[in-house]
Structure 1
Amino acid sequence: MTVMEQRGAYQPAPPPAWQPRTDPAPLLPDPEPHRVLGTEAAAKADPALLRTLYTQLVRGRRYNAQATALTKQGRLAVYPSSTGQEACEVAAALALKEQDWLFPSYRDTLAAVARGVDPVEALTLLRGDWHTGYDPYEHRVAPLSTPLATQLPHAVGLAHAARLKGDDVVALAMVGDGGTSEGDFHEALNFAAVWQAPVVFLVQNNGFAISVPLAKQTAAPSLAHKAVGYGMPGRLVDGNDAAAVHEVLTDAVRHARAGGGPTLVEAITYRVDAHTNADDATRYRGSAEVDAWRDHDPILLLERELTERGLLDEDGIAAARQDAETFAAALRERMNQDPVLDPMDLFAHVYAEPTPQLLEQRAQLRAELEAEQTDREGAHG
């Protein structure tokens, strides 16, 4: 007896018997990125929300500039700037409720700060002082993820667990276009769709995975189209339109909270600065391309909308900029203070229960430190 002859064996159905499990039409993204600013839809936007978005964008731009300057002063080892992407960062934080979780990538420091994380603590990882630098549970912000896309399966797991427990929790996971080329991205989307987990995936398509342009990563019509292959809706949005990003993410979070399952959102934006302070972006892109995107700057777009509608004047602009300067000055002052570091902290919070290897390493380091202390005391004795 062959395998195919065994009772219960899979028997291929003829082609006419095949039916799609899901109608793909409702899952397809719009042919053009969704926009609000500069359209008739802007008149329906909440003025208070627009002002909040504007203030946060201006502060976020100054935060990026200050953090970049700190790398040049030796206060940070590295900083992946999100200049030009502030609309995605701020909108992601504001679209969530207090009980929800944000899962950022390494470039999403600003999103963590907009969510409430202390700005100095958010930079601690990039300073090399701590594994994370902040308590993830305090503001429901997972550790900044340096490995590409590894935070996505974690977001799915948390969202699925919350759903099983009956908790009113949605997870929003952020990733760059480069992260969509990682296996973790595909595994996360597949699990999320099969489990109908309450999770939203936000892809910030800023054009480059370090020096690799999007065209060398995928041949898909858009990254949002990839959602259809997993059975979830795909949304395409202008990532520099803060109002549009907030609207799309808010809708996706609401859909997930209501039991509708996951959504993949692709925000079309641009990384104005280099990949990090260690990158020379002039080697793979021209200044004309960067300048064209500066004309589509998220702050300018929102500022133009607010001023044309009489919701923002010169005094309001000056106040937002002064708020940003005050914020940057406080960050600069605190970052210029040398932290008091305990080498034994290397072993704290690695595992809930330390492994034998970790305990051995900790004991070895403690012995070396005590020996050094004894030598110093003897030299001064």
Structure 2
Amino acid sequence: MPQWQEERPDEDFFRILDPDGEVVKDPPEISDDTLLGMYRTMVLSREFDEKTLHMQRRGEVSIIARATGEEAVSCGSAAALKEGDWCFPSYRQTPAGLYWGVRMDRAVAALMGAEPETIDEHLPVDEEPPVTFTPIYVPLAVNVTNAVGSAMTDRFRGDNNVTMSYIGDGSTSQGDFHEALNFAGVFDAPSVTVCQNNQWAISVPAHRQTAAETFAQKAVAHGIPHERVDGNDILAVFEKSREAVRRARQGDGPTFIEAVTYRMVEHNTADEESVYRDEDERVYWEDKDPIDRFETYLLREGLLDERDPEDIRETVREDIQEAVNRAREVPVSEPETMFDNHLKDDTWKREHQRAELRAELDGRNPFTDFTGEGLE
């Protein structure tokens, strides 16, 4: 038996919809508009991933990290937030932002290399999303620490807001994660931390990240409530996230949620997952696709008819293309701006890197034609 089959996650978690879209627990009370909004967001995110992947392959975008197969986690959890709340995403929470109206044209322009100031000039925001989203965090687990700090700020101000942040299974090995949960537990921060356990931290499987039976139980050491949910069941994710948000809002402190899902694609477009993953593993998880599951449920409930799914896909594809067209009108920033706003003063190392970049942009080989002459 392949190792992934021996060590695949068990199903000891909270679930409402099974992989066939059948109801196994009473669904939460959710308005039809919210259900359809979550479904459209998941479809939009999947199609957005496909579009940006094509752009990356053509060289318009340097690198992307897709949420394909994981849409239910960030969409279902973010849908539990309310106006005034905060969200601190990592780099795979596209559905969360899309659900709350983060603009695709601005997101695409950023992926294409435009500076925030340039984006603001060419794609001004008339109305901010009801939930505030911070810029995407790439340093692992730092967003969780900052989210807890943000939550405490709201508490000190007397604002009845909740802050939600996301972390991957591999990032729970970072010290920042434990520091954040410990602080949140001690001071009852109004925060919700969602672990998107997609089974892989780039090429390292989840079982190599922890010897604990679950990631959820890591919350025990920090004295905070925890939940473990089927991350491909959007209703389950929403229900437990809503409970956690309510708990935080009424002053009962933080919650840690492990959502068990699977990364059906590469870690990012600089990765080749076939080197370290068994194709049978991906096929196994494709049968648990969160969009297919939710779509089956909505069709059975009469909230969608047979033509709606494809109509929705066509509509969101048009919306995405319009957003991309607007983004392409935004001037790309000068490459040297990558060095701005990192340190207060220049260092020799940074000046050396800047000079190497200039040499490359001038068509010279930065390794053979650049000596560093003239640098202080």
TM-score normalised to the size of structure 2? 0.80
127, 130, 133: which is aligned to 2:112? 127
Residue matched to 1:209: 201
Shift of 1:287: 1.3
Q: Write out per-residue CA displacement over residues 10-43 of structure 1, whole angstroms, 9 at most, x where no aligned residue.
A: xxxxxxxxxxxxxxxxxxxx98211122224138
Could you tell me which residue of structure 1 aligns to residue 41 of structure 2?
56
Letter of the 1:33 partner, please give it. F
Contact 2:227–2:257 (CA under 8 A) maintained in structure 1: yes
* 1:245 lines up with 2:205 in the alignment: no
Q: Which has the larger radius of gyration?
A: 1
Query: 1-side partners of 2:254 and 2:184: how far apart?
Result: 6
Say whether 1:74 aligns with 2:59: yes
Correspondences of 1:1-381 after superposition (within 5 Å): 32-37=12-17, 38-42=23-27, 45-130=30-115, 138-139=128-129, 140-337=132-329, 339-341=331-333, 350=341, 355=344, 357=346
Shift of 1:127: 3.1
Q: What amino acid sits opposite 1:253 in the alignment? A: V
Q: Cα–Cα, structure 1 residues 292 and 344, in superposed 2: closer, same or farther, change >3 Å?
A: closer
Q: Unaligned regions of 5+ residues in structure 2, if any?
A: 1-9, 18-22, 359-376
**Is the 2:113–2:333 contact (alpha carbons within 8 Å) kept by the matching residues of 1?**
no
**Deviations, residues 269-314 of structure 1 (Å, cap 9, x unaligned):** 1101100111110011111111111111011101111112222111
Secondary structure in structure 2 of the residue aligned to 1:42: coil
For 1:61, the aligned partner's letter is R
Q: Secondary structure at the match of 1:35?
A: coil
Cα–Cα, structure 1 residues 192 and 31, in superposed 2: closer, same or farther, change >3 Å?
A: farther
Any conservation in 2 of the 1:78–1:127 contact (CA below 8 Å)?
A: no
Contact 2:233–2:294 (8 Å) recurs in 1: yes
CA drift of 1:103 comes to 0.2
Q: Distance in 1 between matches of 2:335 and 2:267?
A: 31
* CA distance in 1: counterparts of 2:283 and 2:338, whole angstroms: 43
| Per-residue deviation, 1:74 | 1.0
Count of residues paired in the alignment: 330
| Deviation at residue 335 of structure 1 after TM alignment | 4.0
1:26 corresponds to: none
- Matched AA of 1:67: T
- The whole-number CA distance in structure 2 between the counterparts of 1:290 and 1:189 is 32
Partner letter of residue 205 of structure 1?
N
Shift of 1:318: 2.7
SS at match of 2:15: coil
Q: In the alignment, is the contact (CA less than 8 A) between 2:15 and 2:25 conserved in 1? A: no
SS at match of 2:253: coil
Q: Quick one: distance in 2 between partners of 1:191 and 1:146?
A: 22
SS of the counterpart of 1:173? Answer: strand
Q: Is the 8 A contact 1:45 1:243 kept in 2?
A: no
> Residue 174 of structure 2 aligns to which amino acid in structure 1?
E
Any stretches of 5+ residues in structure 1 without a counterpart? 1-29, 370-381
Give me the whole-angstrom Cα distance separating, in 1, the residues matched to 2:318 and 2:111: 22
**TM-score computed with the length of structure 1 as normaliser:** 0.79
Tell me how far apart the structure 1 counterparts of residues 259 and 28 of structure 2 sit (CA, whole Å): 22
Aligned-residue CA RMSD (Å):
2.8
**CA distance in structure 2 between the aligned counterparts of 1:315 and 1:128, rounded to whole angstroms:** 38
Q: Which stretch shows the higher mean deviation, 36-45 or 255-264?
A: 36-45
